[in-house]
């Protein structure tokens, strides 16, 4: 019984060997390899269609409830930290557009602790491609597409209803600020993930800055106080994701005394954050020790 089954298996192998190389092709570049990784992800994630749709809807729900929470809070009070609901929604919109997009593109890196613990990270390092891009593409969560679209929609509605006095500068800022926010949150995702190179069991620790940062940037900074505000808003720069750009868009002076140009500082802050995250990643990856399994 075994022999007839073995025959057809040999045949394609022989054919492969006999086939002359048709064209001397260049070895596929890095980009092609990344594209192949991404394509494989798209195919595998959409192959169970019902599960994929359920995931899309579920991820949408999470962000819908975030916005719902802010609206409920404004149902109880007229203004929060000196901001009306329309003004606060601009802050929420900037934050959710930036966070959801960053979570779609980079949020996946929060699975790094599992790769480190199980030793799967060895395989990633062995391949002749960058470790970080591989991690991001290895299971790019397409299901988070729905919430990213919703996040951008919240921003569009908020900006539309806030009665902004449009100037070319503000029009540029409304595009630049969310992009800077994406870079900023992406950096936070990467930097916090590197903790697992040193502390494998760090578990939820990264959430305090990633999802915590999302919560922090969903409210005007004036809501917070003391050293906590100083650390999150200015020490780590979360104020420049949504609060300062929102002030610049609305044409309001900062009650906390930062000058008007602070809103336009968002891209610079994001670049600094990206630089620090890159350093943290490089240093961290040198500290990686395989589990040996």
In the bound state with other proteins, the residue whose beta carbon lies nearer, of 48 and 166, is 48
Per CB under 8 A, contacts with other proteins among 122-181 are none
Token code pair at residue 194: 């590197």
Place of tokens 């391949």: 127
The phi-psi region of residue 20 (left if phi > 0; otherwise alpha if psi is between -120 and 50; otherwise beta) is beta
| Bridge partner list, 83 | 80
Total residues interacting with other proteins, rule: CB under 8 A: 41
User: Interface with other proteins includes 76 (CB under 8 A)?
Assistant: yes
DSSP states of 96-150 = HHHHHHHHHHTGGGGGHHHHHHHTHHHHHHHSSS-HHHHHHHHT--GGGHHHHHH
Round to whole Å and give the CA distance between 91 and 76: 19
Round to whole Å and give the CA distance between 9 and 11: 6
In the bound state with other proteins, the residue whose beta carbon lies nearer, of 57 and 123, is 57
In the bound state with other proteins, the residue whose beta carbon lies nearer, of 69 and 167, is 69
Q: Which residues contact 36 (CB under 8 A, 6 or more apart)?
A: 28
Q: With CB under 8 A as the contact rule, which of the stretches 4-12, 65-73, 104-112, 134-142 interacts with other proteins?
A: 65-73
Percentages helix, strand, coil for the chain, rounded to the nearest 5? Answer: 80, 0, 20
121, 189, 197, 219: which one contacts other proteins (CB under 8 A)? 219
User: Interface with other proteins includes 254 (CB under 8 A)?
Assistant: no
Q: How far is the CB of 36 from other proteins (least distance, A)?
A: 27
Token code pair at residue 9: 């298996």
The phi-psi region of residue 77 (left if phi > 0; otherwise alpha if psi is between -120 and 50; otherwise beta) is beta
Here's the x/- map for other proteins, 21-60, by CB under 8 A: it reads as: ---------------------------x-xx--xx-xxx-
User: Interface with other proteins includes 268 (CB under 8 A)?
Assistant: no
User: Interface with other proteins includes 205 (CB under 8 A)?
Assistant: yes
Q: How far is the CB of 13 from other proteins (least distance, A)?
A: 32
User: Interface with other proteins includes 204 (CB under 8 A)?
Assistant: yes
Q: How far is the CB of 80 from other proteins (least distance, A)?
A: 5
32, 42, 73, 279: which one contacts other proteins (CB under 8 A)? 73
Residues that bind other proteins (CB under 8 A): 48, 50-51, 54-55, 57-59, 61-62, 65, 68-69, 72-73, 75-77, 79-81, 199, 201-205, 207-209, 212, 215-216, 219, 222-226, 228-229
């Amino acid at each position: 019984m075994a022999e007839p089954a073995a025959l057809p298996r040999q045949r394609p192998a022989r054919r492969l060997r006999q086939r002359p190389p048709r064209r001397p092709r260049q070895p596929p570049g890095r980009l092609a390899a990344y594209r192949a990784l991404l394509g494989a992800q798209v195919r595998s994630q959409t192959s169970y269609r019902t599960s994929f749709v359920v995931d899309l809807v579920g991820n949408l729900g999470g962000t819908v409830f975030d916005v719902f929470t802010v609206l409920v809070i404004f149902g109880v009070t007229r203004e929060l930290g000196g901001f009306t609901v329309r003004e606060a929604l601009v802050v929420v919109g900037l934050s959710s557009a930036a966070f959801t997009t960053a979570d779609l593109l980079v949020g996946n890196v929060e699975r790094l602790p599992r790769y480190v613990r199980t030793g799967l990270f060895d395989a990633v390092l062995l391949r002749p491609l960058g470790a970080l891009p591989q991690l991001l593409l290895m299971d790019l969560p397409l299901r988070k597409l729905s919430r990213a679209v919703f996040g951008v929609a919240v921003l569009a509605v908020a900006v539309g209803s806030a009665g902004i006095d449009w100037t070319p500068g503000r029009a540029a800022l409304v595009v630049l600020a969310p992009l800077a926010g994406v870079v900023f949150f992406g950096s936070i995702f990467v930097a916090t993930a590197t903790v697992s190179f040193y502390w494998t069991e760090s578990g939820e620790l990264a959430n305090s800055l990633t999802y915590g940062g999302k919560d922090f940037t969903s409210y005007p900074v004036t809501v917070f106080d003391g050293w906590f505000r100083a650390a999150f808003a200015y020490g780590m720069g979360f104020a420049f994701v949504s609060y300062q750009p929102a002030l610049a868009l609305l044409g309001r002076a900062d009650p906390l005394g930062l000058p008007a140009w602070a809103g336009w500082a968002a891209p610079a802050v994001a670049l600094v954050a990206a630089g620090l995250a890159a350093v943290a990643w490089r240093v961290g990856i040198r500290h990686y020790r395989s589990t040996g399994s």
